[in-house]
Amino acid sequence: MRAGRHIAATALAALVLLGCAAPNEMQEYVGRNVNEVILDRGSPSEIFNLSDGRRAYQWEITKQGYRPAPRPRIGVGIGIGTGHWGGGITTLGTDYVPYSKECHYTLYADQRGNDWIVMGMRPPVSGCA
């Protein structure tokens, strides 16, 4: 009876997670065999056996890209009211600087026979969604 309640609670939690907006593409694997994730995303960087019998699979993915960085541009203009030429900061320009961030994606799985079924995930930290 106790195992039945555990399975029902886990299934309900999975349905709730499926109904939420996915924070990233890993959410689509809830309810599927963890082998599908491994085939699509490669081997996890870590696998942990948890005290409650679940297993956590963790992938480390480096997010890379460019972000805008405003910078002043020096120019020459006519000073208002003085009639003189002068120099100064006239506009703000935008440069794009590279960035990279290490993100950890963790899926929790329950064992069903010989298979491990993804039952949920840990949300990644801010900036990794």
Q: Residue ranges of the domains in the chain?
A: 2-122
Could you tell me the pTM of the whole model?
Answer: 0.58
Average pLDDT over the chain, rounded to an integer: 77
Residue 106 confidence class, pLDDT cut points 50, 70, 90: very high
pLDDT at 85 over 90: no
CB 98 within 8 A of CB 64: yes
Task: Indicate if the pLDDT at residue 16 is higher than 70.
Answer: no
Integer Cα distance of 29 and 8 in angstroms? 19
> Which structure tokens are listed for 35?
């082998």
3-state DSSP call for residue 75? strand
pLDDT band at 109 (very low <50, low <70, confident <90, very high): very high
